[in-house]
Amino acid sequence: MKKISITLTVNGQKKTVEVTPNERLIDVLRYRLDLRSVKAGCLKGECGSCLVLMNGKPVKSCLILAAEADGSEITTVEGLGSLNKPALIQKAFIEAFGYQCGFCTSGFILLGHWILENMPDASEEEIKEILNGILCRCTGYKQIIEAIKLAQKWKRERK
C-alpha cells in the first residue's frame, strides 16, 4: 500500500500529512491533526457526528478518503471560535441550550454556521431540512433549531 502525501488547509493552517489509501478524512483529522471534535458515531454517513466543512460545504468525513481531500480547505468547530472569541453560532448554542451530551454538537454547530453564512434568512422549515442530515439523541432538536434562529436574529440585528 503506497503512502500518499496530502496537504490540507485546516482551520486556516496548511498541514501536510502522509496517509495510507485506506485512511479516511475523519481518521486524519482526529488522530493525525488531533481535532477531536470530529466524532465517529456510525461510520456509515447516518449520524453526522463527523461533519466538517470541506471547501465551504458540509460533508460527512467518515465517507471521504483522506487522499480525496488533498488540497482542500477544512473547517472544524475548533476553527470557528473560542470561549474568549466565540463565533456567533457558538454563542447562540450556549444561550439557547442547543446541546446536551455534546457528541453530535460539532456537526450541528457547523451546519448552523453554514446556514448563517449561506442562507442567513433560512426559514424554520429550511433549517430543519438541512439539519435532517444529522442525528441528535438528547435534545429533540428544538433547542438546536432555536439556537440557529437566535444566531440568525443576532446577525440581522448587527447589520
Partner 1 sequence: MSVLVFRTTLPRFEYLRPKSLGEALELKAKYGGDAMILAGGTDLLVDIRMRAKKPKYVIDIKGVKELSELKYVEGRGLEIGSAVTLSEIERSKVVKEKFHVLWDAVRQLADFPLRTRATLAGNIANASPASDSAPALLVLGAEVELSSTRGTRKLPIKKFFKWVKQTYMEPDEMITRIFVPEPPRDSKGMYLKFTRISVEDLSVVGIAGLAANPKEPEKRIVRLAYASVAPTPVLVEEVEEIFKHDKPVKELIREAVEAVKKKTSPITDVRGTAEYRRHLIEFGTAYLLNRLLEVIE
Partner 2 sequence: MSPYKYVGKPIPRADVDKVFGDAIFSFDVTLPGMLYAKLVGATQAHAKIKHIDYSKALQVPGVVAVFTGAEFPQKIGIYAADRDVLAREKVLYYGHPIAAVVAESLEAAENAAELIEVEYEPLPAVFDVKDALKPDAPILHERLAEYKHASFIYPEPGTNIATRVKLRKGDVEEGFAKADVIVEDTYREPLVSQAYLENWVGVARVKSDGTVEIWSSHQSPFAVRELLAASLGLPIGKVIVYHLYTGGGFGGKAGILLEHIPVLLSMKLGGRPVRLELNREENFHYMAQRAGYIFEMKTAATKDGKLIAHQGRYLLDAGAYADYTVNVARSVTFMAFGPYEIPNIHIDTCAVYTNKVPTTAFRGFGLMELFFASEQQIDQLAEKLGMDPVEFRLKNALIPGKSITPTQRRLREDAGAPADTIRRTAELIGWDKPLEKPKEPWKRRGRGIAAFWKGPVQPSSAAASAVVKLNEDGSVDLLVGTGEMGQGTVSALRQIVAEELGIEPEKVRVSPIRSTNLVPYTWQTVGSRGLYSDGQALMRALEDLKSQIRKVAAQIFKVFEDEIEIKDGKAYVKGKPWDSVTLAEIALGYMFPDGETIHGPLIGRGSHVPVQTTFLDPETGAGEPKPFITFGAGAVEVEVDLLNMQVKVIRAATVYDTPVINPGLAYGQVYGGLVMGMGLALTEQLVFDDHGRLLNPNLTDYKVFRAGDIPKEIKAEFLGVGQRNAPYGAKGIGELTMLAWPAAIINAIYDAIGVRVKETPATPDKLLKEIREQKPELLEEVRKQLLG
Residue ranges binding partner 1 (CB under 8 A): 1-2, 4, 20-24, 27, 40, 43-45, 48, 51, 57-60, 62-65, 67-68, 111, 128-130, 132-134
Say if CB 11 and CB 71 are below 8 A apart.
no
Smallest distance from partner 2 to CB 89, Å: 9
- Contact at 8 Å (CB) between 53 and 41? no
CB 57 within 8 A of CB 117: no
DSSP per residue over 16-79, as a string? EEEE-TT-BHHHIIIIIS--TTS--S-SSSSS-TTEEEETTEEEEGGGSBTGGGTT-EEE-GGG
Provide, rounded to whole angstroms, the least separation between the CB of residue 99 and partner 1: 19
Q: Can you tell me which of 4, 68, 95, 122 binds partner 2, judged by CB under 8 A?
A: 95
Give residue for cell 449520524. Answer: 47
Stretch that binds partner 2, among 53-61, 113-121, 133-141, 151-159 (CB under 8 A): 133-141
Q: Is 97 in the site for partner 2 (CB under 8 A)?
A: yes
Asked if 43 touches partner 2 (CB under 8 A), the answer is yes
Rounded CA gap, 73 and 140, in Å? Answer: 32
**Site residues for partner 2 per CB under 8 A:** 22, 31, 35-37, 39-44, 46-47, 49, 76-78, 80-83, 86, 90, 93-97, 99-106, 109, 127-129, 131-132, 135-145
